[in-house]
Chains A and B, each alone.
Chain A
Amino acid sequence: MSDVREIELNLLLEAIFQRYRYDFRSYSMASLKRRISRAMTEFSCETISALQDKVLHDPVVFPRLLQYLTVQVSDMFRDPAYFRTLRERIVPFLKTYPSLKIWVAGCSSGEEVYSLAILLREEGLAERALIYATDINGDALRRAEAGVYPLDRVAAFTENHRLSGARGSLSEYYTAAYGSAVFDRSLIKRVVFSDHSLATDHVFAEVQMVSCRNVLIYFDRQLQARAVGLFKDALVRRGFLGLGAKESLHGSVHQPDFLDFASGERWYQRC
């Protein structure tokens, strides 16, 4: 990218922040640039400056651009070893709490939320657990709340669920209809979906567990530190933090505040 495009990119992110209060300025730039390039094609913009013009002056553009900048498709029970560790080693700790609060930070379209809700039900914790599912993308939150996923993805979900150590079948939790799997509404009876930014918002509750997976890789070091600082402040002592398979607290300023609980599966425990 030439220096001119670099300037334009910075200006676009500044414009988005000033106009819409979404802060992408501390995101990892390499993948953000790719997404902006795709958006430029979609909006027929030759330059980032032209996209900035549309973002500032055409009210329908930013909500659509936001989908390019944020949407992540995940799998249910992605990285089954993560959920197996949760089930076998962390659930026994969670069972010692009379009531539980869990924060799924950056929940996107909800695959992780349903995975956790199913696991909690299987382990007999659903009735005492409240899940906060947060994201900056309102459309993604609405999809998460709807809990409808293409049926062709369910085979992978089912296999992951099995590998996570589940005794039952995933099919107990959804109804297939018109090429979609519609997940049981009762799973999200105790889920609060809410708009929250790890870049600009603050801690909103005390929780026993945070799961934030494949979000930090999109942040630069500084924003990673901010996010992990929020998790640190939200977690009770001995509370658990779970990250994505290629994320770690290694080199984080907050590393001293956490123990490696099962660092291979990216589970950390608050000191």
Chain B
Amino acid sequence: MLNAPAKTRVDAVVLGASAGAVDALGVILPTLPATLAVPVIIVVHIPASRPSLLVELFAAKCALPVREAEDKLAIAPGTVWFAPPGYHLLVERERTFALSLDELVNHSRPSIDVLFESAAEAYGERLLAMVLTGANHDGAHGAAQVQAAGGLIAVQDPKTANVSAMPELAIGRTKPDIIGTLPELAAYAIAQATERVEVRP
């Protein structure tokens, strides 16, 4: 099991984004420092029919290594992980990845809810879930599960989102710990996921 150092508030960040995702991630991911002590696990809704260019695109822009999640792989910290197109991405309790081709959830595979719900079970309160721009209702149910397990919720301010529906629905289902602009969410995530910041409840 990969444990992040105890000084971080969370052991993992999970993030879901749909329509407008690439631009939104382009604001957040490059600001994440190489010292980030936990994994950042991301589901973006993209068509399954073509290979994902997300890894290539963001590897060039990020201080952290960027990889596609692989089945049964131990989830290395300090790494940005993308779900492969066409597969659900789940986290096992032993904090390894699992992929599945089970039916679409919220018309999506990968589904944000599937990632969030499994991560909530694996990480409990030591998890930050972020919901960004999107036209779908994916992520809201999963965010509620994360919150019920004691994890943190960060939602993009719908007014600043490229498409507001997904953050609005997440706000409707949870009491987010922060609702903010993309730079504010990035700063919040860094604070929860790096060792240099002491976070007090």
Q: How far is the CB of B124 from chain A (nearest CB, A)?
A: 10
Total contacts A to B, CB within 8 angstroms? 54
Contacts of B102 in A (CB 8 A): 31, 34-35, 72
A266 to B123, CA, bound (A): 32
- 25 examples of A-B residue contacts, CB within 8 angstroms: A6-B93, A28-B90, A28-B92, A30-B91, A30-B92, A30-B93, A30-B118, A30-B122, A31-B90, A31-B98, A31-B100, A31-B102, A33-B118, A33-B121, A34-B90, A35-B102, A72-B102, A214-B101, A216-B71, A217-B99, A217-B100, A217-B101, A246-B87, A246-B99, A251-B72
A33 to B92, CA, bound (A): 10
A72 to B102, CA, bound (A): 7
Q: How far is the CB of B50 from chain A (nearest CB, A)?
A: 12
Interface size on B, residues (CB 8 A): 21
Contacts of B92 in A (CB 8 A): 28-30
A73 to B100, CA, bound (A): 12
Among B37-74, those with CB < 8 Å from A are: 70-72
Contacts of B134 in A (CB 8 A): none
Q: Are the C-beta atoms of B117 and A34 separated by less than 8 Å?
A: yes
A212-236 to B contact mask, C-beta < 8 Å, 1/0:
0010111011001000000000000
Contacts of B88 in A (CB 8 A): 31
Q: Are the C-beta atoms of B90 and A247 separated by less than 8 Å?
A: no
A33 to B121, CA, bound (A): 10
Q: Are the C-beta atoms of B98 and A217 separated by less than 8 Å?
A: yes
What is the chain A residue whose CB lies nearest that of B91? Answer: A30
A34 to B101, CA, bound (A): 12
CB within 8 Å for A73 and B71 given contacts A1-B121, A31-B90: no
Q: How far is the CB of B145 from chain A (nearest CB, A)?
A: 10
Q: How far is the CB of A66 from chain B (nearest CB, A)?
A: 15
Q: A33-B121, A35-B102 are in contact. List 8 more A-B contacts (CB 8 A).
A: A29-B93, A30-B90, A31-B90, A31-B100, A31-B102, A73-B103, A246-B71, A246-B87
Among A178-197, those with CB < 8 Å from B are: none
B69-111 to A contact mask, C-beta < 8 Å, 1/0:
0111000000000001001101111000011111100000000
Contacts of B101 in A (CB 8 A): 72, 74, 214, 217
CB within 8 Å for A218 and B93 given contacts A34-B117, A246-B87: no
Among B94-146, those with CB < 8 Å from A are: 98-103, 114, 117-118, 121-122
Contacts of B114 in A (CB 8 A): 34
Contacts of B99 in A (CB 8 A): 217, 246
